[in-house]
Amino acid sequence: MIRIDPRVAAALRRRAERGRPVCAYVYDLTVLRDQVRRLREALPSWCEVYYAIKANADPAVVRAVAPLVDGFEVASLGELRQVREATGGLGAPPRAVFSGPGKTDADIEGALRSGIELLNVEGTTELHRVQWIAERLGVRVPVALRVNPGHRVLSGSHLMGGTPSQFGIEEAQLPGAVASVGTLPALDLRGLHFHAASNNLHADAHARYVEWCLRVIAEVEAEHGVRLPILDVGGGLGVDYRRGPGFDLRDFGRRLGELPPPNGRRVVLEPGRYLAAGCGYYAAEVLDLKRNHGQYFAVVRGGIHHFRLPSTPHAGEHGHPFAVVPVEAWDYPFPRPQVEGAPVTVAGELCTPRDVLARDTWVDRLRGGDIVVFPLAGAYGWEISHHDFLAHPHPDRIVLDD
């Protein structure tokens, strides 16, 4: 069994006193800020950090991160709006790079009108679409070409590049794309964008990947006689949900520090998971505990419609780890169900056998009315879930900030 921060347990017990059953996301902004600072301190000064808001767009999270990062990575007009709304009143709007496949005319026009810093373009048709819209608006657009590497440059739980995918321009087609930009006068080619994998746990491989990206951009410059001042290497720094040694940040920083400084080039990292995962917890109260076909099941007020992460390939076969916050009050006239010293599968309230948050996980004791708490839920937790399937109430949101 794992332990969680006593402040989080206390906040959940307080919530239980105010109303049951408990179902909540808890975001700890101190943990979040510390993690952003840790990353920044480990990286050489020539690295910039943009937060990929898709990992967690909660306004409190975005506001807490804003003063500590160089900008944001957004992949839709909705995300751009979320950044602007959450940071309104904090000074000048933060810098934003706009990425993502399948940009519509409206996305591109909206992004250009909102003064984004850089548009990461995913394909040749999109280049022409941006030219067509920019010409109509009478603006010049700073663009970067997203490259899908010709070989496997990174591993991770989600591969986007170095493999056939909908992302980016295949490396072999890059010379043609660079030449195309030269014929599109409204486009100002500023750099290259790479985001090859998400959730890579190997710091040495990530450093080698950044080194490779630096080499590619220098080669493109030399071959085409262009100056590309921005290298955006994407996100992808991993989180070990099984509580193993995880991504070795110091090693990553040290290896990057050994590379020659990139000669005035801006090198942008746009992590999401690595910054936000640790600050979040998903908590759900046990409504029922039963034995079915020889196995124990705990059914909670909540499930994968709030917290879909456990059903993604991120944490190995047993899924996401959890802790139990015991709640002593049991105000019912009927017996309290209980399991002691046994593996339990934690399932949600949806009418599908896929609504499983953790499978066959050992508990010392679990009772109806206790709260199961999933740590490392701050990235791709609420954001990737299908909230309204079965129309259950959404979870509460508890923000700790001290």
What is the CB neighbour count within 10 angstroms for residue 214? Answer: 19
For residue 212 the two structure tokens come to 């490779």
Q: How far apart are CA 37 and CA 131, in angstroms?
A: 38
Write the binding mask 63 to 82 for ligand PLP: x where contact by CB under 6 A, - elsewhere.
----------x---------
Among 123, 234, 280, 302, binds ligand PLP (CB under 6 A): 234
Q: How far apart are CA 203 and CA 207, in angstroms?
A: 6
The answer to the question of residue 168 lying near ligand PLP (CB under 6 A) is: no
Q: Which of 179-187, 230-238, 334-342, 350-358 is the region at the interface with ligand PLP (rule: CB under 6 A)?
A: 230-238
Burial of 35 (0-12, 13-18, 19+ CB in 10 A): buried
Q: Which of 14-22, 35-43, 58-66, 194-202 is the region at the interface with ligand PLP (rule: CB under 6 A)?
A: 194-202
The answer to the question of residue 198 lying near ligand PLP (CB under 6 A) is: yes
Between 156 and 302, name the residue whose CB sits nearer to ligand PLP.
Answer: 156
Write the binding mask 32 to 61 for ligand PLP: x where contact by CB under 6 A, - elsewhere.
--------------------x-xx------
351 is catalytic: yes
Kindly state the smallest distance separating residue 97's Cβ from ligand PLP, in Å: 9
C-alpha 270, offset from chain centre:
10
Between 110 and 236, name the residue whose CB sits nearer to ligand PLP.
Answer: 236
The answer to the question of residue 278 lying near ligand PLP (CB under 6 A) is: no
Query: Contact at 8 Å (CB) between 318 and 360?
Result: yes
Q: Which of 83-91, 231-239, 251-259, 343-351 is the region at the interface with ligand PLP (rule: CB under 6 A)?
A: 231-239
Residue 370 vs residues 34, 325, 367: alpha-carbon distances, Å: 30, 6, 5
Q: Where are the alpha helices (DSSP H) in 43-152?
A: 59-65, 77-87, 105-113, 124-137
Query: Which DSSP helix (H) or strand (E) runs through 251?
Result: helix 249-257
Interface positions with ligand PLP (CB under 6 A) = 52, 54-55, 73, 99, 195, 198-199, 234-237, 270-274
